[in-house]
Amino acid sequence: MRETYRVAIAGATGAVGVEFLRLLEYRHFPISELRLLASARSAGKTMRFARREVLVEELTEDSFANIDIAFFSAGGSISKKYAPIAAQAGAVVVDNSSAFRMDPRVPLVIPEINPEAIAGHNGIIANPNCSTIIAIVPLWPIHRQNRIRRLIAATYQAASGAGAAAMEELRESTRAHLEDREYANTVLPHPYAFNLFSHNSKIDPVTGYNEEETKMVQETKKIFGDAEIRISATCVRVPVLRAHSEALTFECERPITPAEVREILAAAPGIKLIDDPVKNYFPMPKDASGQDDVLVGRIRQDISDPSGKSIAMFVAGDQLLKGAALNAVQIAEVMVAKALLQGAAAKR
Amino acid sequence: MRETYRVAIAGATGAVGVEFLRLLEYRHFPISELRLLASARSAGKTMRFARREVLVEELTEDSFANIDIAFFSAGGSISKKYAPIAAQAGAVVVDNSSAFRMDPRVPLVIPEINPEAIAGHNGIIANPNCSTIIAIVPLWPIHRQNRIRRLIAATYQAASGAGAAAMEELRESTRAHLEDREYANTVLPHPYAFNLFSHNSKIDPVTGYNEEETKMVQETKKIFGDAEIRISATCVRVPVLRAHSEALTFECERPITPAEVREILAAAPGIKLIDDPVKNYFPMPKDASGQDDVLVGRIRQDISDPSGKSIAMFVAGDQLLKGAALNAVQIAEVMVAKALLQGAAAKR
């Protein structure tokens, strides 16, 4: 008989939480019990899972008794407080926040890149930042064959990265703009309708980079296991709902051609090549939304590097899926496949 | 008595044409006669200029008799046909299209950078591409002090670059999206509501770069008078109405610091520093719209270049103003100031 697991979702009612429910159902994650956790404000609601209504409970210190795996997506401070409690109670936590990502005791995992890191966990596994995941899923197979020495990234990030309320603010402020009404933004720091702005995370006073950019730099080094890779990112929020795009320019150790990159990516998991210069059809948020794969296109030799070692390309990926919930569920699936989870049956 | 000039605008009813009228009026360009030219479809309309209504006439081969200066913004094919006719008739043409930009007999001018090139014209002066102007107005004063060797640009381009109809398509398709209605795009090749896409210009089958990107490369070399500068651009249309933003990463000949860049830019014309890391306030399209200056911020050392020669920054500029009509009017103003135009008085 197939092993089944008792699963909790902390932050079940958020933009990522909703995707967790959907993914666990349609990917047939072997669930024996599902516990939906949220703030007191959302407790008492029900959410649909596998043709039944599941009650949302308030997240407390007692929420994780007899849980095998707990997905966290309720922000850094909730993770900081409750993830260790869940781990202590015996659950393996897959945490979507940035709280533990750079902790050397916590594996930071993208299953296409470093699934082997999962086994070394101490109760918490961190899910990387969305912009990092979407950039480096396609960079990794290239890096493995011809080490990437330098990456310059400019992001085009969707509202979803700031949560469901930010998506709603984008919709509502745009509606107001079109109707020539005033709109006072409350979720994001700047007007969002037909506007864009530098990512609204804190700027490091020494480097001048914001936290989102610094995450891309540090997390990539940790996930690649390569402290030498040099990265600069410019992270920008654009008025798009749920898929991030990124312009990536990278320099390899040895010369590399667009044809080689295409061949490498065509054989790599988690990637779909959308690269049609004749039809002018390339990765777009509208196509990436709802898709598991990261879309990659505009693959060309970087003409600003005469050494022939540099490539420019453009990627798009669903921020809520591969950028968040899907990657976390894939981590859990690796644990199931490798029997790294204590199943409910085993504990009974 | 102050010299006055007979001015024609070809493409007066377009998005840029409207800005020409506004700029010529509020900058008090010394006009003795204004001729508004457009397609037969728009002929017979009137447009307001200096508290009177001016009739729009159909653009024909006879439109340029007794004109001193003709601003063209009606697309490349109109410029190709009528600009030489206007020049032949004695007008100086300032052309907004790409038709003559790379012609070695035609000066390609940004007044903050190479005003001296104007004098060498043979009847036609070209106005650079909008993305080029907005990137290189702030790069030039840096280049003069510490030569820029390499530039990597990622653009966030507004609808206005594709004209008034594209702006309307962005508004209408977004309205439809919010009302859950279908919308069939007719102006741009891809759905635009809450979406973005690689710039809709032809891709060079050899380089893989699109025309917009290639313009940035070639025009910068011509305007800077520097064939050695190495440039790679990724040009992307974002759902913004009329200001382009760009993430610029550049490498100089010698080490350079963000403080030096700020000092250089603070003293340079046509630029406004908007660079407040504490308030997280940086250049945004909403602030650049309607502004003459290019906004510059996010100035920081590029941490991917350990030599200390590279800087990353973010710029935004009004595509219709400095990116198009304003730059052209400024070219005309230089001609007036340097008495390079045959004034109406002189001809009478």
> In the structure, what pLDDT confidence band is assigned to residue A342 with cuts at 50, 70 and 90?
confident
pLDDT, average across residues B15-38: 97
Residue A197 half-sphere exposure toward CB, CA atoms < 13 A: 23
Express each pLDDT in A147-204 by its tens digit. 999 999 999 999 999 999 999 999 999 999 999 999 999 999 999 999 999 999 999 9
A contact residues 234-253, partner B, Cβ 8 Å cutoff = 234, 236, 238-241, 245, 247, 249
Chain B residue with the nearest C-alpha to that of A209: B300
Chain B residue with the nearest C-alpha to that of A213: B303
> In the structure, what pLDDT confidence band is assigned to residue B71 with cuts at 50, 70 and 90?
very high
In contact, A241 and A160? CB cutoff 8 Å: yes
In contact, B341 and B7? CB cutoff 8 Å: no
What is the reported pLDDT for B223?
A: 98
Determine, for residues B151 and A304 on separate chains, whether the beta-carbon distance falls below 8 Å. yes
Nearest to B197 by CA among A287, A235, A283: A283
* Structure token digits, residue B126: 């070209």
In contact, A212 and A129? CB cutoff 8 Å: yes
- What is the C-alpha to C-alpha distance for residues B100 and B78, in angstroms, rounded to an integer? 12
Radius of gyration of chain A measured on its C-alpha atoms: 20
The total of other beta-carbon atoms located within 10 Å of residue A172's CB is 17
In contact, B214 and B207? CB cutoff 8 Å: yes
Which of B207, B238, B280 is nearest residue A238 as measured by Cβ atoms? B238
> In the structure, what pLDDT confidence band is assigned to residue B39 with cuts at 50, 70 and 90?
very high
First to last CA, chain A: 14
> In the structure, what pLDDT confidence band is assigned to residue A347 with cuts at 50, 70 and 90?
low
- What is the C-alpha to C-alpha distance for residues A45 and A23, in angstroms, rounded to an integer? 20
What is the reported pLDDT for A348?
A: 46
* Structure token digits, residue A169: 């603010």
Which of B191, B202, B209 is nearest residue A300 as measured by Cβ atoms? B209
Q: Is the dihedral of CA B185, B190, B196, B199 positive or negative?
A: negative
How high does pLDDT run on average in chain B? 96
What is the reported pLDDT for A2?
A: 74
DSSP class of residue B201 equals S
* Structure token digits, residue B207: 């380089």
Q: Does A291 touch chain B (CB under 8 A)?
A: no
pLDDT, average across residues A95-106: 98
Chain A residues whose beta carbon lies within 8 Å of the beta carbon of residue B234: 154, 247, 249, 298, 312, 314
ipTM: 0.96
Express each pLDDT in B147-190 by its tens digit. 999 999 999 999 999 999 999 999 999 999 999 999 999 999 99
B contact residues 264-283, partner A, Cβ 8 Å cutoff = 277-278, 280, 282
User: H or E element: which one contains B220?
Assistant: helix B211-224
pLDDT, average across residues A293-298: 98
Express each pLDDT in B109-149 by its tens digit. 999 999 999 999 999 999 999 999 999 999 999 999 999 99
Q: Is A232 helix (H, G, I), strand (E, B) or coil?
A: strand
Alpha-carbon distances, residue A251 vs A49, A143, A150, B255 (angstroms):
45, 10, 5, 21
User: H or E element: which one contains A250?
Assistant: strand A243-252
Which residue type is seen at B79?
S
Chain B residues whose beta carbon lies within 8 Å of the beta carbon of residue A190: 284, 286
Q: Does A211 touch chain B (CB under 8 A)?
A: no
Interface test with B, best of A151, A171, A192, A232 (most B CBs within 10 A): A232
Express each pLDDT in A63-75 by its tens digit. 999 999 999 999 9
DSSP class of residue A293 equals S
> In the structure, what pLDDT confidence band is assigned to residue B348 with cuts at 50, 70 and 90?
very low
Is residue A300 scored above 70 in pLDDT? yes
- State the pTM of this model: 0.97
pLDDT, average across residues B24-41: 97
Alpha-carbon distances, residue A27 vs A46, A269, A274, A330 (angstroms):
21, 17, 25, 10
CA angle A197, A200, A203 (to 5 degrees): 110
Bridge partners, A68 (sequence order): none
Chain A residue with the nearest C-alpha to that of B198: A282
